[in-house]
Amino acid sequence: MTVQTPARTAAAPINTGWPGHGVLLGPMRLDCGVELDRFPIAYQTYGSLDPDRANAVMVCHALSGDQFVLDRHPMTAKSGWWEAMVGPGKAIDTNRYFVICTNVLGGCMGTLGPKEVNPATGLPYGLGFPVITIADMVRAQKLLIDHLGIAQLFCVVGGSMGGMQVLQWAVSYPEAVFAAIPIAASARHSAQNIAFDEVGRQAIMADPDWHAGDYISHGVVPHRGLAVARMAAHITYLSETALHRKFGRSLQNRTAVTYGFDADFQVESYLRHQGSTFVDRFDANSYLYITRAMDYFDLAAEHDGVLANAFRWRGRSTPVRFCVVSFSSDWLFPTAESRATVHALNAVAANVSFVEVATDKGHDAFLLDEPQFHQVIEGFLTGCAEHRGLKDRRRGAA
Amino acid sequence: MSPRDDAGVTLATARATRPRDIRVDLQLIAEMIEPGSRVLDVGCGDGALLDHLVHFKQVDGRGLELSMDGVHACVSHGLSVIQGDADTDLKDYPTDAFDFVVLSQTLQAMRAPREILGHLVRIGRRAVVSFPNFGYWRARLALLVQGRMPVTDRLPYQWWESPNIHVCTITDFVSLCREMGITIERSVILDRHDLVRGSGFGALANLIAAQGVFLLHRS
């Protein structure tokens, strides 16, 4: 099967319809065997690229994230999703580093995904979109940095599914990555996580408005299914302690329970809000495809079932310097998963740091204000910059 | 808490006063390590030794540390350190992965010192081990005269709070090395004021040393 995309031309900037940059790149062969011809990648950049192009940092976003790391979101008007970490004077300092973030392949914010129009049919791909993998997402990002003339990324960093992309980057292109920071991630999706993903997908597919993936043609959105998927997933991003602290058993705008099924409890109201706002900005089919990509992720599987083999390079250990980070209350990607990655890296004597950040905020801690976490990232990057010989242009400015 | 935290020095303050005043026993360890080599510091604490080695001996340095605070301090200052437990994690490292593996003031706090020692000389072509000497005359005197478990500068804990669950004497250590086929290449012994008192590891050393530093390799 060949997916038809616009006729082959030189990589050309395009308007994706979203703020930021867009470019048509390809061809590219997907893991499933489908050959993509030319396809759009939407991306954002922050800071400026040094003349020697050595200061680029690729930020990889998570399942429901996008390329708007620092911008006000064009649909929700909320501030950028990683403003706690990235920006002028922040741990990933845009006065020093050139930050790139692409919307992932399969996404719904300008990069090729199931809601885009298939030129062969003139209709949205829907379920005609090929199944993509984390490696495919990273392949697309590699095409972009080639296009930008960046031979080696100074760092690839991301949390959750972003962390999976980070690990995949280090395994697929070890020479193109100086340092890698996989945060709250795993080298393989666990059975429990696949199970949660399946609950989300079934919720979407059970919505009559899903129309076997063809809802755009029907002029509807399976908003109930997608909202339930988001609500279930959102619980996994928090911790029991965080939920209890935030809501306890508090009631929503009432003094007593109503003996009905309204959102009596604040936590119900909160989840309903999370679900309904997500529907406004995210495509249901993208949710299916991206969760599937996470399910399929298993770095060891491609290396004889031995994760350490993924980190061997030319008979030696990977040249990439790692900083693996986990959060103590994260039960979606628990510390044990990060530790398994660290053990595999140790087994090839790779250069690796590993920190478990003590927090009760659960998986979502990577997005939140966690000063100790940010100190670790900043220190790791500064150390790497020293080894890489990056000029600290902030000193001149200070 | 790391058993090596006894000096209570944070990396930030250590940095401000370095290069020359890392602890004397750490200086002695540093002197045993060849410039530019690959070094693993097991139980690296706040990273004082590792930082010194990286910056003044240009080593490719890594650390393993149990305490979260220690790991945060190290990684935040650009050192490659893993949060982990030497008792369980050393088995993952491949043989001869490092030129030197350092275990400073930590052996006595390990659950399985013999296995640890085996891993040190397996992972490293050489190992540098320092530990407080329970054969030190003050320790012996405390037990003999007062009939109490010794509390010394190097072993400052009461028996019920001590992380040092496997204390040994220099003679014990030498005997274990012999049994395990480990060669003691060099040794330095220190008194309780951290003054170097010689390079032996015999009966006299066992009496006058408050601590010893040993350079080891597989025979």
Query: Per-residue pLDDT tens for B42-64?
Result: 999 999 999 999 999 999 999 99
For position A119, what pLDDT does the model report?
Answer: 87
pLDDT at B8: 36
CA distance B30 to B24: 10
C-alpha–C-alpha distance, residues B184 and B91, integer Å: 23
Residue A309 CB burial class (10 angstroms; 0-12, 13-18, ≥19): middle
Smallest Cα distance from A92 to chain B, Å = 13
| Mean pLDDT, residues A296-302 | 96
| Domain assignment of residue B31, given as a range | 3-218
Q: What are phi and psi of A187, to 5 degrees?
A: -80, -5
| pLDDT for the residue B7 | 38
In chain A, list all ranges with CATH 3.40.50.1820: 2-191+302-397
What's the whole-number average pLDDT of chain A?
Answer: 94
Which run of H or of E encompasses B187?
strand B182-190
| pLDDT at site A395 | 56
User: Chain A interface residues facing chain B, Cβ-Cβ under 8 Å?
Assistant: 321, 323, 339, 342-343, 346-349, 351-356, 358, 372, 375-376, 378-380, 382-384, 386
CB pairs under 8 A between A and B: 67
The answer for residues whose C-beta is within 8 angstroms of residue A273's C-beta and 6 or more apart is none
- Provide CB contacts within 8 A for A40, sequence distance 6+: A14, A16, A22, A23, A24, A110, A111, A112, A116
* Fold entry, domain A194-291: Rna Polymerase Sigma Factor; Chain: A (1.10.1740)
CA distance B59 to B140: 39
Closest in A346, A356, A380 to B68, CB measured: A356
**For A136-152, what is the mean pLDDT?**
98
CB contact under 8 A, A349 and B72: no
- The average pLDDT across A242-246 equals 94
- Domain CATH for B197: 3.40.50.150
Active site residues of A: 160, 330, 363
Q: Is the pLDDT confidence value at B12 over 70? A: no
CA–CA dist A184, A170 (Å, integer)? 16
Residues A344, A348, A353, A355, Cα dihedral to 10°: 20
pLDDT of residue A10: 63
pLDDT in tens, B104-138: 999 999 999 999 999 999 999 999 999 999 999 99
- Would the pLDDT of A193 be above 80? yes
| CB contacts, 8 Å: A179 with chain B | none
In chain A, where does the domain assigned CATH 1.10.1740.110 lie? 194-291
Q: Pick the closest to residue B82 from A91, A365, A376 (CA basis).
A: A376
Pairing type for strands B211-218 and B182-190 reads antiparallel
Find chain A residues with C-beta within 8 A of B61's C-beta: none
What pLDDT, in 10s, does the model give residues B61-97? 999 999 989 999 999 889 999 999 999 999 989 999 9
Determine the average pLDDT of the residues in A29-51: 97
Distances, alpha carbon A235 to alpha carbons A243, A279, A358, in Å:
9, 17, 19
Chain B positions touching A386 (Cβ under 8 A) are 78
Among B50, B66, B76, which would you mutate to test the A interface (most chain A Cβ atoms within 10 Å of its Cβ)?
B76
Identify from B71, B92, B125 which residue to disrupt to test chain A contact, counting A C-beta atoms within 10 A and taking the largest count.
B92
CA distance B207 to B192: 12
* Local confidence band at B15 (pLDDT 50, 70, 90 cut-offs): very low
Residue B153: the pLDDT is 82
Residue type, B36: G
- Token output for A149: 């003339």
Q: Give A347's contacts in chain B (Cβ within 8 Å).
A: 92-94
Closest residue by Cα to residue A53 from A218, A176, A233, A169: A176
Determine the pLDDT at residue A156: 98
CATH number of A2-191+302-397: 3.40.50.1820
Number of domains, chain B:
1
Give me chain B's average pLDDT, please: 89
Residue B202 sits at the chain A interface (C-beta within 8 Å): no
Of A346, A375, A379, the CB nearest to B92: A346
Chain segment A317-332, per-residue pLDDT in tens: 999 999 999 999 999 9
**A41-88 confidence digits (pLDDT tens):** 999 999 999 999 999 999 999 999 999 999 999 999 999 999 999 999
With a cut of 80, say whether residue A3 has pLDDT above it.
no
Number of other residues whose CB lies within 10 A of the CB of residue B184: 16
Is this complex scored with an ipTM above 0.85? no
Scan for tokens 């010192």, then name that residue: B113
Identity of the residue in B71, B80, B94 whose CB atom sits nearest the CB atom of A352: B80
